[in-house]
Amino acid sequence: MTTREFRRLFAAKPFQPFTIHLVDGRHIPVVHRDFVMLSPSGRTAIVYQLDDDFDVIDILLVTALEVMLHPSRQVQLCEAA
């Protein structure tokens, strides 16, 4: 995953919630743009959840991003090569 792909989805208007898939098998939901903080380089993101838990993510370890169109259906938007 490139930082450019992540920034494009993060900055999309209107914002759509999405899920981050990581190489270690974790899936991290991003419910709103205000819940993500990108480092100045774009290499690292901190993603907060509704309960104030958070994950620090190396964007280069993201395998896919899925836009959450409906709770029961997700469409894959970007996938790492």
Give the SS3 label for residue 60.
Answer: helix
For residue 6, give the H/E element and its range: helix 3-10
Q: pLDDT tens across 18-65, in order?
A: 999 999 999 999 999 999 999 998 899 999 999 999 999 999 999 999
How far is the C-alpha of 9 from the C-alpha of 33, rounded, in Å?
10
| Residue showing tokens 């838990």 | 53
How far is the C-alpha of 61 from the C-alpha of 51, rounded, in Å?
24
Residue-level pLDDT at 53: 96
All domains of the chain, ordered by start, with CATH? 3-79 (2.30.30.100)
Q: pLDDT tens across 2-25, in order?
A: 788 888 988 899 999 999 999 999
Residue 75 pLDDT greater than 70, yes or no: no
Residue-level pLDDT at 65: 93
Q: What is the dihedral of CA 77, 40, 13, 28, to 10 degrees?
A: 50
Residue-level pLDDT at 26: 95
